Structure 1
Amino acid sequence: MQVSTEPAVTTEVTPDGDLGPGPDWDPWSDPQVIEELKAQDIPVLEELSAAQHIIVRDGFLPDADARALRGVFDGRFADPRVIRPERFLWDYWHVPDQYTLVRTQAQVYFPEDLYNMLEAALLSYGESQLGCRSISPIWMSYYVDGCVQELHCDNPHGPFAFVLSLTTDWEHREFSGGETMILQPHVLNYWRNYDPRKGLELQHLVTRVPAPFNRLTVFDPRFPHGVRQVHGTRDPRKGRLVLHGWFTEPAPFFDGPLDPADAEAVLAEGLQPLYEALDAVSGLVTGTLIARVTISGADGSVSGVSWLADTLVEVPNHDRAAAEALLEGRVLPRLRALVQNEMRDCLTAITFPTAPAGGDSVLTLPIVFE
């Protein structure tokens, strides 16, 4: 799994050799199956989007805004001998063998104007990039020597977790550790990709995402994740400082001259064929697929569909269903590809209302599989 400063694409590791038809055999990993399907003129759906379980955006806030947030923190810890009420807003959170960190609620800690700026930036990003209309209360936490988050999952909180770093001078920090750790997808499907010829170490099992100043990291919280233990400084100003929470309430979001109420009514009716088509794969795929749909203001047609985020995962039931289909002489479609193609075909068939001035609109549409 790789992490870059562009929206990071992470994909499942594929087997290096022929696994043979066994309980975890995936027919779509077998070139012979693909060739046989093509020879029989059976369509092979291609995936339209690669799985994205980690998205990284550097320089998330305007630099002056990020530094203003950091300045509040530094100012309150500047002189440890000065007693102010703001210094007593922190909770030392320690759950044995799981969490050790110092945290506070950002809304209580920052001046109202700074907090409103932060919340608005996160809400805008969530709506336009993830199709999420809300966020959880924002936590701020600092990590000094001994602080850690062991691996855990945040399934109930929202489809995407976020970490916005206010840690300064990451490359020359006075501590080790502090990276966000996320278990790599292939580990959760370990035996499908098992190779007895290869050993594995930490870097093969988890992705470590550094936390330089003003970096926003968004990830799929269903994956076990944590924070590497910090060793070194005990000075809060020199430790790991992050804002974190979850994007919540996935729902369609329209941007442009289209009237949202009219457009949402058309969208709801237009998506019915998609829901019916995907009912057959219920329970075989889980995750969120987010499309960006460009709508022509001139005639209401869909002029483009692209993908903003994709956390779709085929669940173990898919392996059994695929094996049963093969025994019956059928081939179960590649489910990620099926969902993506059905979603594209359905969206491009919808005609929205025209815009008064003829300007185009953009729809951010999340489809959630639970």
Structure 2
Amino acid sequence: MPISRRQLLQTTSASALLASIGQQAFAQAHPPQLDTARIITGFSAGGTSDVTCRRVATKLSPGYATSSVVVENRTGAGGQIAISYVKGQPADGSTMLQTPTSMLTIYPHIYKKLPYDPVADLAPVSLACVFDFGFAVGPAVPASVKTVPEFLAWAKANPAGANFGSPAAGSTPHFIGALLAKNADITLQHVAYRGTQPAMLDLLGGSVSAVSGPIGDITQHLASGKVRILGTSGTKRSRFAPDVPTLVEQGLKDMAFSEWFGFFLPAKASHEVVARLNAAMKQAIASKDVVDGLAGIGLEAMSSSPAELAELLKKDTAMWAPIVKKIGFTADA
């Protein structure tokens, strides 16, 4: 049967449409290979967040990005600047965020208004690691002070030196110090830094008495002989400081805290883009170089599915609500 020109055009148009739909479906199921990618961290170079990013980045190229994966430190506002930056980036997988949990689970309780929504603006990809915190003192505190209760007693008797630093106001380390002070009914002046490493430098210099921070940020300074870890925050002793008793062991009840770092993409990232990065992350985080490298700075490498990370985010956000209320801290005050 002869085909009319109209029928031919209709058939051609339909074929073109089907081909277009097929190409779109293929593109969604198989995101294009990236040339370069970036990992954004809100904390300074040399700290545990930065080192985690750099360890993982070396394993994402050339598999995830053919040319390179670079790390950018966008510090400030306790990690908020980095998160705010990433949420507005293209959702093609080329820009990812690595952040500690505090900025996502605690900040919503202490800020009346954040420049980002932890759930609406970010797409969970994978856990990176978990870790405990340490509470350490430096040259400003007498060598006779060997436990956290002894430090609290010394701080009460020496108000001029009753202070501690943490990597950010409103972070888990900040609240550990605040809870210690509240439970001991003393005043400990909090000094917020842009990451734990700047705080450690001031601790070594004697301008701050104590630091609450990731244990790996502290243990790397023990060789100086100027830093002493008085307690760790886990439910059991840290394998990175086995001789140091936990806060709970020292009679400080309800003082067991750990934290995680996680990788995220902008919220509009497709399921396929998230899945591709998750697969690459799992492989990178499980590699011996990353596992051993993170262990060297007090971190336990651990990946997850996007759904597991989303559930952990929800659970920890709910857990911190009553703790923040107890402390009474607000960043807007």
Alignment TM class, shorter chain as reference:
under 0.3
Task: Give the TM-score, by structure 2 length.
Answer: 0.25
Q: Which has the higher contact order (CA 8 A, sep 6+)?
A: 2
Structure in which a larger fraction of residues adopt helix: 2
Structure in which a larger fraction of residues adopt strand: 1
